[in-house]
A and B are shown apart, each in its own frame.
Chain A
Amino acid sequence: MKDALRVTRYDYLIAVREGRFWAALALTAVLAVFCIASTRKAYQVQTAQQRAAAEETHQQFLDQGDKNPHTAAHYGMYAFKPISLLSLIDPGVLPYTGVAIFMEPHRQNTALFRPAEDSSSSARFSSLSISTLMLVFVPFLIVAMLYDSVAGDFTNGSLRQLLATGISKRSFAFGKLLGAMAKISSVILPAGLLVGAILAFTDTQSFGSSALRLLLLCLAYFLYCCLWIMLTISVSALAKQPGRAIGALLLVWLLATLVIPPGAAELVRSLRPTPSRLAFEKAVAKDLQTPPRYEDEIKREALGEYHVSRVEDLPVSWAGVLLEKNENHTTHVYRSHMELLQSDYESQTRLASLLGIFDPLLNVKELSAALTGTSVRDFDEFTSSADRYRESFVQAMNDDMKEHGTAAGYVATRSTFETVPKFNATLPTLSDTLRSQSIGIVLLLVQLLLGAALFLFSMRRLEVL
């Protein structure tokens, strides 16, 4: 252990004397701070607007004036998607999903206003975030800083000298690994602390509630970096020449970060196609068509339930009964189609996760989005909770209509509208998130084990002569 620490110290000291270490440290810190500082203000403004709008939409519903309960339901409400503080680290799918859903009777609307549509292609194709830095840029830094960690010792003869001092190959290997981790941590940690401080300063309350997610996110990024560190040292040891090592490592980096992710997305799209909007809407419209004698069946059911023989004798409003049953039908149709679509997306995402066995970036990207509350699953949960809320307030209005609609010209008043609570979007809990990411987590651990095995193999093959 002592020998390993000697190697670590030697390695670290050499690194801090090199310009590339300080350049990497400065560049990482500047980029990270710039990424978060430039989006911080937008987050604060959007969060404030979202909260104010959520409050206002409910107030507008209450203030709409006395009217027929069903007309009141048609006035509708907007559900605004809450923004997580950690989206400053990883915006995930936020730019590609709508920010508001209009909730009204008879239909489940899709979310409106995707931020990416309001920005240009140049902004889209050059988007930079902390997660991009961690998933794409930091692996490049690892390769740039460590490609000669063993190969350099081979060529300049220092490996021979080190082993001649009696250090075992095992101590050398662990010393190198610890040294590499120390170097990379020294480069990333200052940037990480600055980012953490800015996050805490941006929204103290949300920071406290997201602390555990943030810690797990850091752990995921740390494991991802460990994987790259082990891979880089292994290739450096196997290549034995810095030139060869850098060539091979850059090829791996290029494939893992730039080629495989869009390639995997194309592959999954073609293997598991999802329906177009047109096909989806046609399928919904087909199922919405009520069968012949649908109304007769409802009538028979209602008459049976209330033990009367004529609609006029019903103790409740027949119009209210019809609206309630129709809403049940449309909600069922929309929900089943939406769930089918969401399960299609989930199966696509699962397949992409499985492809992540070839590329850890795919899994860690999904894990990162899930932990920051910006994954597809988080968005689906938001749309589902909006739909449940939509159903509840529409049916509350229909119930009121059913109960009081027998009186001619009945109108619901503010007191009826006040029975509708405010909308609170439910988001997946941390355990739900981790459960949904189980495949990715397992694959990442398997990749770490494979990385460790490659590292041990490369160190065993270490020959001085």
Chain B
Amino acid sequence: VSQISRYLRWEFWAFCKDRSQVAATAVLLVFGLLAVWNGSRWQKREAAQLQAAATDADTAWSKSRSEAEAILGGRAKAASLFTDPTIPALAGGLGSGGAIAILPVAPLESLAVGQSDLHPRYLRAALKPEYELTENYELQNPSFLTYGHFDAAFLFVVLLPLYLLIVSRNVYAEERQSGTLMLIGAEGVDLRLLGLARLAVRFVMAFLVSVICIACACACGRTGDLGGELVTSLLLLLVISLYALFWLGIALAAHLSIRNAATSTLALLAVWVGVVIVWPGLISLTGSLLYPAPSRIEMVQSYRRASTSAARQGAKSLAGYLNDHPELAGAGGAQMSDFFATTVAMQDLTESAIRPVLSRFEEQREARERWLTIFSRVSPASTMQLAMEDAASSGDRRYQRYLNQFGKYLLQWRAYFVPRIFQKRAMDAAASAQIPRFQYVEQNSSVLAKQLLLDALYLGAFAAAVAILCAQLFTRFKPTA
């Protein structure tokens, strides 16, 4: 133990005396802070936009409710049929009304922008087809979406391995080439322990930078749930540590097997390009080949065909609909010439007609996602990216959860408004108070912890495999060039 601590002490001082190593660490730290700052600016911008959207929706709702009260109280008159807020179809969003369903910004979202730059953050609940409502994406220059974001995920997935490979370049190869490694060995130094101590110092440096970045991200997006954030942060640090160990293992393996310093640096970089860029790319391309993306064009055309067919039937649609839903027909209820009732009936018939197409679309999409998710696990870089998105809650999982909740909310929305439309019950204050409201239910923090543990398990397996390789290479290790 005293030998190990002595080596660690030496190597720590040697690391601190090496200006290039210190500079590389400083650059990593600066990049890390810059990445967190970028992420936190993104997080704040998103939060501000959500706030603005919520305020706007509240203002519009209050205005329409006060207008409705005035009309019902006989103090005012609607300018036209299509601007009357007492009509349930209009309050339900058959035109421009409706309510908004917000996906709140997650506390650690500054760590990874993930897919949140693509997915809309708030959707409008209205009496319209769901696919139309979920297309409310944010306006931004598409050219920049191709570059991605300089966030902490980019730092940990792409730059951290590079940092580790660069600062590990003098673990053995350089000294072995210059002959000093043999001299050190001749002094009675255990070269295996020395190598491990060197890697340990580099690991500690990377770990410290990771701790600082994650602490800053926590400070930027802190919410009430300090315990949950702490657990997520600790698990993320575990994932990052295992990813770092994997790369340090790769560096050690290269040093043990390649004797020339420049060749080993090149080989390490080639491995890095292979693991971080090429391998995940090949997995993704294979996924596209085996499971092509479902066709949106086909979906939209199916919807069009079904809605045209329902529209052709016109009043017959309403009659058929009322036949299927006798509870909606009643005294003083919808007439065959009722525009709003006919529209809602046609929408329902259209949606029923294209349900098989939508199901097929969803199945194809899910099969593709399943394949990609499973095979992403074959790549440490993709696993790390997924872990970052899990921790930041900016990936597909949370968004899919939001869409599922939104889908259920739409059903509640329709269930509330459709009977009112058919029974022509005016939207008074009491009715407005009963309109269902959307509240996103965050997943249990234990589920997130399990996901991160799973990510850690995969990366641990990669790190263990590389450690076994290194152990074998150590048996053939010679300090001479």
Per the 8 Å Cβ criterion, residues 203-236 of A in contact with B are none
Question: Nearest chain-B residue to A247 (Cβ)?
Answer: B265
The answer to whether B136 touches A277 (Cβ under 8 A) is yes
| Residues on A with beta carbons closer than 8 Å to the beta carbon of B53 | 278
Question: Do A262 and B49 form a contact, CB below 8 Å, given A118-B296, A274-B141?
Answer: no
The answer to whether A41 touches B141 (Cβ under 8 A) is no
The answer to whether A121 touches B149 (Cβ under 8 A) is no
Per the 8 Å Cβ criterion, residues 252-279 of B in contact with A are 261-262, 265-266, 269-270, 273, 277-278
| Residues on A with beta carbons closer than 8 Å to the beta carbon of B304 | 57, 60, 78
Question: Do A263 and B150 form a contact, CB below 8 Å, given A114-B118, A250-B265?
Answer: yes
Q: Is B372 an interface residue when CB atoms closer than 8 A count as contact?
A: yes
Q: Mark B143-173, 1 if CB is under 8 A from A, else 0.
A: 1111111100010011100100010010000
Per the 8 Å Cβ criterion, residues 91-122 of A in contact with B are 92-93, 95-100, 110, 112-122
Residues of chain B at interface, number, CB under 8 A = 81
Question: Do A112 and B135 form a contact, CB below 8 Å, given A38-B285, A120-B396, A270-B41?
Answer: yes
Question: Do A121 and B142 form a contact, CB below 8 Å, given A46-B295, A60-B304, A100-B300?
Answer: no
Question: Nearest chain-A residue to B177 (Cβ)?
Answer: A243
Smallest CB separation, A349 vs chain B (Å):
6
Q: How far is the CA of A347 from the CA of B159 in the complex (A)?
A: 30
The answer to whether A121 touches B266 (Cβ under 8 A) is no
Total number of residue pairs linking A and B with CB closer than 8 Å: 224
Per the 8 Å Cβ criterion, residues 236-258 of A in contact with B are 242-243, 245-247, 250, 254, 258
Kindly specify which of A124-132, A326-334, A433-441, A449-457 makes contact with the partner chain.
Answer: A124-132
The answer to whether B382 touches A122 (Cβ under 8 A) is yes
The answer to whether B146 touches A110 (Cβ under 8 A) is no
| Residues on B with beta carbons closer than 8 Å to the beta carbon of A127 | 281, 284
Smallest CB separation, B293 vs chain A (Å):
5
Residue picked from A42, A122, A250, A341, most chain B C-beta under 10 Å: A122
Q: Is A282 an interface residue when CB atoms closer than 8 A count as contact?
A: yes
Q: Is A379 an interface residue when CB atoms closer than 8 A count as contact?
A: yes
Question: Nearest chain-A residue to B273 (Cβ)?
Answer: A140
| Residues on B with beta carbons closer than 8 Å to the beta carbon of A279 | 52
Question: Do A277 and B139 form a contact, CB below 8 Å, given A122-B284, A137-B278, A140-B273?
Answer: yes
Question: Do A120 and B369 form a contact, CB below 8 Å, given A46-B295, A128-B284?
Answer: yes
| Residues on A with beta carbons closer than 8 Å to the beta carbon of B475 | none
The answer to whether B365 touches A118 (Cβ under 8 A) is yes
Q: Mark A136-161, 1 if CB is under 8 A from B, else 0.
A: 11001000100110000000000000
Question: Do A97 and B142 form a contact, CB below 8 Å, given A35-B285, A50-B297?
Answer: yes
The answer to whether B373 touches A120 (Cβ under 8 A) is yes
Q: How far is the CA of A280 from the CA of B266 in the complex (A)?
A: 49
Question: Do A126 and B284 form a contact, CB below 8 Å, given A147-B266, A246-B265, A277-B137?
Answer: yes
Q: How far is the CA of A46 from the CA of B270 in the complex (A)?
A: 35
Q: How far is the CA of A369 from the CA of B143 in the complex (A)?
A: 9
Q: Is A289 an interface residue when CB atoms closer than 8 A count as contact?
A: no
Q: Is A265 an interface residue when CB atoms closer than 8 A count as contact?
A: yes
Smallest CB separation, B161 vs chain A (Å):
11
The answer to whether A349 touches B141 (Cβ under 8 A) is yes
Q: How far is the CA of A348 from the CA of B140 in the complex (A)?
A: 11
Q: Can you list 29 A-B pairs, Cβ within 8 angstroms, ordered by A?
A: A37-B289, A60-B305, A78-B300, A96-B145, A100-B297, A100-B300, A112-B296, A116-B118, A118-B296, A121-B114, A121-B386, A121-B389, A121-B396, A122-B280, A122-B376, A123-B288, A126-B284, A126-B382, A127-B284, A137-B277, A245-B262, A250-B265, A262-B150, A266-B38, A277-B137, A280-B139, A348-B144, A349-B143, A352-B143
Interface set of A (CB-CB < 8 Å, partner B):
31, 34-35, 37-39, 41-42, 45-46, 49-50, 53, 56-57, 60, 64-65, 78, 80, 92-93, 95-100, 110, 112-128, 132, 136-137, 140, 144, 147-148, 242-243, 245-247, 250, 254, 258-259, 261-266, 268-270, 274-280, 282, 341, 344-345, 348-349, 352, 365-366, 369, 375-376, 379
Interface set of B (CB-CB < 8 Å, partner A):
31, 38, 41, 49, 52-53, 56, 114-115, 118-119, 135-150, 154, 157-159, 162, 166, 169, 174, 261-262, 265-266, 269-270, 273, 277-278, 280-289, 292-298, 300-301, 304-305, 308, 312, 365, 368-369, 372-373, 376, 379, 381-382, 385-386, 389, 395-396
